[in-house]
Amino acid sequence: MRIGLGINYAGGFKEVAAEVADLERAGLDIVFVPEAYSFDAVSALGYLAASTERVQLASGILQLYTRTPTLTAMTAAGLDYVSDGRFTLGLGASGPQVIEGFHGVPYDAPIARTREVVDICRQVWRRERLQYEGKHYRIPLPADQGTGLGKPLKLINKPVRERIPVLLAALGPKNVELAAEIAEGWQPIFYLPEKANDVWGDALKAGRAKRDPALGDLDVYAGPVLAIGDDVEPLREFVKPHLALYIGGMGAKGKNFYHALATSYGYGAQADRIQELYLAGDKDAAAKAVPDELVRDVSLIGSAGFVKERLAAFRESGVTTLNVVPIGATSADRVKLIEQLRNLL
């Protein structure tokens, strides 16, 4: 398994770049730059491309609705160029809270839009004269919707690669099926190895049945929180507020993807209670309601022996990359954790 890590999008680029360079030397394979409603991910990725030599770079994630498909393709090609072919395009729909609440764009048809965006990106990277007739994107814009002056164009520059890897963040069965069909990689959230096949197995099987063999095997990215030591179990408490935020606060009742995931893991009653408390404004109580077993099983927090056992479970379930969140007070602490994890692998 490869080791990945997501940077803190609230931090400064210079400090992050210095730490990533140290992590690269410690054995980090890929670094993800998130894009929520912070600084944009692309600026940080460009900065990191100039500050690193070997580590792979990925957007984690660029949101479908915030850029046109062609701008997404141009951006990916540019980042792949400045990184000498080290870029992976992470895409995802995000959710209506961010897309409508921060960007003011309707959150509609995420599955269909994902397929069309990926199709368009790959045409751009192949430097084809772009002509696309989709349900949601039509390029060039037809005369009855514009001036009639648009014409098919192709990317001016020659990309480093005409097939930049695409990683899709997906949770629901249709989204996961799509990822297994069209993407090089799939990134779920709160991945529980022992339950993964029950939750996503059918969707992955259906997607892989339609998969182009040229894409190769599907890379599966899990994102556990990481802490290794003989006395680190209390750190599991730090994971609970994050889980409570997603399970309880990311959507209204009946419209929360993460609540549905916790329910599918067998924690339906607890998920209901977390959501009830969180939506009522009692975030501390919501965090306390997160089951200890759930935190234990989706994380890598424990002794070296415990972590090694959990690594075997992640590997057996099909995970190919661990996109970890190391708990460390300093940069040196986080670098040490990556070194320890590398040794356990």
Assess contact for 276 and 249: CB atoms under 8 A. Answer: no
Domain boundaries, the chain: 2-223+304-344, 231-302
Q: Could you tell me the pTM of the whole model?
A: 0.94
One-character DSSP codes across 125-175: HTT----EE-SS-EESPPGGGS-S-------SSPPS-SS--EEEE--SHHH
Whether cis (ω within 30° of 0) applies to the bond prior to 140 is: yes
What is the residue type of 272? D
Digit-by-digit pLDDT tens for the chain (345 residues) are: 999 999 876 667 788 888 999 999 999 999 999 998 888 999 999 999 999 999 999 999 999 999 999 999 999 999 999 999 999 999 999 888 889 999 999 999 999 999 999 999 999 999 999 999 999 999 999 988 999 999 999 999 999 999 999 999 999 999 999 999 999 999 999 999 999 999 999 999 999 999 999 999 999 999 999 999 999 999 999 999 999 999 999 888 888 989 999 999 999 999 999 999 999 999 999 999 999 999 999 999 999 999 999 999 999 999 999 999 999 999 999 999 999 999 999
CATH tag, 2-223+304-344: 3.20.20.30
What are phi and psi for residue 153, nearest 5 degrees? Answer: -125, 160
Amino acid at the residue 97: Q
pLDDT of residue 7: 86
| Assigned token pair, 228 | 């290794």
Return the closest-CA partner of residue 310 out of 215, 226, 189, 197.
Answer: 226
Among candidates 240, 231, 233, 230, which has minimal Cα distance to 262?
240
Query: Are 274 and 289 contacting, i.e. CB atoms less than 8 angstroms apart?
Result: yes
**Strand, helix or coil at 211?**
coil
Per DSSP bridges, beta strands 132-133 and 138-139 are: antiparallel
Side-chain half-sphere CA neighbours of 310 within 13 A: 24
pLDDT of residue 9: 63
Element (H, E) at 80: helix 69-82
Torsion, CA 5, CA 117, CA 51, CA 17, rounded to 10:
-40
CA–CA distance, 193 with 210 (Å, rounded to integer): 24
Given a contact cutoff of 8 angstroms between Cβ atoms, the answer to whether 124 and 117 are in contact is no
pLDDT at 11: 65
> Which residue carries 């890897």 as its tokens?
165
- Rg over CA atoms, the chain: 20
Q: What is the pLDDT of residue 187?
A: 97
User: Can you tell me the distance from the alpha carbon of 134 to that of 124, in angstroms, rounded to the nearest whole number?
Assistant: 15
Crossing angle for the helix pair 331-344 and 304-316, to the nearest 10 degrees: 60
Both tokens of residue 195? 């339950």
Asked whether 267 and 294 are in contact (CB, 8 A), the reply is: yes
Q: Quick one: which of 283, 309, 281 has its CA closest to 297?
A: 309
Within 13 Å, how many C-alpha atoms sit on residue 2's CB side?
Answer: 18
Q: Which burial class, exposed, middle or buried, applies to 282 when counting CB atoms under 10 A from its CB (0-12, 13-18, 19+)?
A: middle
Residue pair 179/168 in contact (Cβ under 8 Å)? The answer is yes
Structure tokens at 240: 């609970």
